[in-house]
Amino acid sequence: MASRSNSISASLLTWLAIALIVIVLDQFTKTLILGYFQLGDARPVTGFFSVVRVHNSGAAFSFLAGASGWQRWFFVALGSVAAVFIVWMLRRHGHQRLFAWALSLILGGAVGNVIDRLLHGYVVDFLDFHLAARHFPAFNVADAAISVGAALLILDELRRVRRG
């Protein structure tokens, strides 16, 4: 029983380390943006990509950004509950590599954005992809990790269904 417990702990630590790397990379890039850009600044990098500084008090695609402020604490609570649930899932399913990778990326992204909401009251977004005058909503490293993690979850489920 002890070796199984040690195996779970080692596996969990690996997945938490991946989430921590996402958090550190996310917070580092946001700190650079906050230090070198003013709100609303945009610097073109290519014809389809710019680095910008945007503050998002809402969720994905600025959902609830116009609310009166309660959404900050709602999204902090939601991200915190999600993080606890993900850690529990990683502890139980850490041996499922693709699934655990997905959860680790989502965990790191969720915690990265919760940190922003606690520190600033908003999430710092800075990656701006566009085609002509049409802009995809700006996002950050945490959002990218969550998106990749969600895609991996879908892939994992498709693989599981095919095997089933």
Buried b or exposed e, range 14-34, using 16+ CB within 10 angstroms:
ebbebbeebbebbbebbeebb
Element (H, E) at 47: none
Residue 37: what are its φ and ψ, rounded to 5°? -125, 145
Residue in 116, 125, 128, 156 annotated catalytic: 125
26 given a catalytic annotation = no
Catalytic residue at 143? yes
Beta strands in 11-48 (DSSP E): 42-44
List 26, 116, 128, 143, catalytic entry? 143
Catalytic sites, residue numbers: 125, 143
